[in-house]
């Protein structure tokens, strides 16, 4: 059981890390090194020998290995990212990089995504050092840069250039599962992530004939682009429930005493009520237009127009995704990936999944643990190149009315102190027995 000092430290570490501004604006505009040095200092204080590694100056990653008691056991990777998305201070109730602790809540950018988990890892590891505890398996701890952009300076760099640091690792845990989902009728559900949709960020380019805005122009690049964007935005992607999604639907159906009729997924989702939110974004591919760029003067028809689309595809459905984009963009618009990462699935019948479930159930016996697939992506994609199976496991016991999903990249991001304490206890229990 995690000691009282670990419970105090997880709050302090979360607050301290939030105060270190690691805003990732994309395109290399970020500096994680001060947060990496902070994490390395805490690991060194636990008797470990952390390594700081950079592909680009200032974009630091931290890796350390904790030797397990069973040398024949596979190693486990425990990773969290140090960067955060931008925050506009004027929109917030408190300064987003204050790390303020008020009314039992820690406020600031990264409180949920994901300096809370970074702090939990540090608190657990330091608690083990005080108590002289060794896990059964080797545990490799990694704090990464650049997760909120391309991961080229973070997990991608580590996987490609330093695979030896992860020798023996077969499984990993990171964001963002094992949180309390309240369905509004008294049930508490703990979705445990065992899959991720693939990432397909796209650039669409339409070319046409430049000319005067007052003249007839049937080769208008803006018109061509707008038509393609409209087709993409309006397209209804077909249902493609994967093994993880089917397991999620079956688990939720059991919670509600429903027949898990996977021949009518939409009908089952309607019966699940608010709990359908855990699944509805992952039963199909998606493509959402997000950016437009065209022209420079109102009376000039430009020769080119550009759009960007956030695409996500399910395991086994990338070919369909590509073919559909070819059809929707049509002959006058080209598209390309500006960032692509694989879709992932992890087994829900594995011993590691069972141990995560048992750890949650020990401290939340009233909770219902179900698998789910994340609609977005994490650093688990990059580490999968090393054969590491990834799970989303950032345990948090959350009060009713707390909108966990809204905290990600949202205004007034915050995490209850009690949720951090729960997370340390559950993470400690799992890692001791994993």
Which residues does the annotation mark as catalytic? 83, 147
Instruction: Name the helix (H) or strand (E) containing 351.
Output: helix 351-363
Which residues fall within 8 angstroms of residue 399, CB to CB, at 6 or more apart?
A: 180, 416, 418
Residues in the chain, total = 434
Q: Are 31 and 58 in contact (CB under 8 A)?
A: yes
Q: Are 205 and 334 in contact (CB under 8 A)?
A: yes
CB count in 10 Å sphere of residue 304:
15
Locate 93 and state its tokens: 């109730």
Give the residue from 420, 428, 407 showing the smallest Cα distance to 173.
428
Integer Cα distance of 394 and 76 in angstroms: 15
Q: Residues 326, 331, 332, 333: what is their CA dihedral angle, to the nearest 10 degrees?
A: 10
Q: Are 192 and 372 in contact (CB under 8 A)?
A: yes
Give the residue from 421, 378, 393 showing the smallest Cα distance to 173.
393
């Amino acid at each position: 059981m995690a000691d009282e000092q670990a419970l105090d430290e997880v709050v302090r570490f979360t607050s301290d890390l939030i105060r270190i501004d690691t805003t990732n604006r994309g395109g290399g505009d970020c500096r994680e090194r001060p947060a990496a040095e902070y994490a390395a200092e805490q690991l060194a204080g636990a008797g470990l020998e952390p390594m700081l590694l950079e592909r680009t100056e200032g974009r630091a990653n931290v890796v350390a290995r904790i030797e397990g008691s069973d040398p024949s056991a596979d190693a486990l990777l425990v990773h969290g990212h140090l960067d955060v998305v931008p925050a506009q201070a004027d929109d917030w109730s408190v300064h987003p990089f204050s790390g303020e602790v008020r009314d039992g809540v820690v406020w600031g950018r990264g409180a949920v995504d994901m300096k809370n988990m970074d702090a939990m890892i540090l608190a657990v590891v330091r608690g083990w050092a005080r108590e002289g505890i060794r896990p059964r398996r080797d545990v490799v701890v990694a704090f990464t840069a650049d997760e909120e952009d391309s991961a080229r300076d973070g997990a991608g760099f580590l996987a490609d250039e330093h695979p030896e640091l992860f020798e023996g690792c077969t499984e990993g845990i990171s964001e963002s599962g094992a949180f309390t989902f309240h369905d509004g009728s008294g049930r508490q559900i703990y979705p445990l992530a065992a899959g991720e949709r693939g990432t397909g960020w796209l650039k669409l380019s339409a070319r046409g004939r430049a000319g005067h805005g007052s003249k007839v122009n049937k080769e208008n690049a803006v018109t061509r682009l707008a038509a393609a964007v409209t087709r993409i935005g309006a397209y209804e992607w077909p249902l493609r429930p994967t093994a993880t999604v089917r397991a999620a639907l079956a688990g939720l159906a059991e919670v509600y005493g429903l027949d898990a009729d996977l021949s009518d997924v939409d009908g089952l989702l309607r019966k699940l009520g608010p709990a359908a939110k855990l699944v509805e974004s992952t039963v199909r591919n998606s493509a959402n237009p997000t950016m437009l760029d065209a022209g420079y003067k109102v009376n000039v028809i430009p020769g080119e127009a550009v759009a960007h689309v956030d695409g996500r595809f399910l395991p086994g459905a990338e070919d369909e995704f590509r073919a559909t984009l070819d059809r929707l963009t049509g002959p006058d618009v080209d598209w390309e990936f500006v960032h692509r990462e694989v879709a992932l699935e992890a087994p829900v019948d594995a011993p590691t999944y069972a141990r995560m479930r048992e750890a949650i159930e020990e401290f939340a016996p009233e909770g219902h643990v179900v698998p789910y697939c994340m609609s977005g992506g994490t650093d688990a994609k990059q580490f999968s190149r090393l054969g590491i199976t990834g799970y989303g496991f950032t345990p948090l016991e959350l009060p009713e009315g707390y909108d966990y999903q809204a905290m990600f990249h949202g205004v007034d991001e915050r995490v209850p102190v009690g949720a951090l304490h729960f997370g340390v206890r559950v993470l400690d229990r799992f890692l001791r027995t994993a």
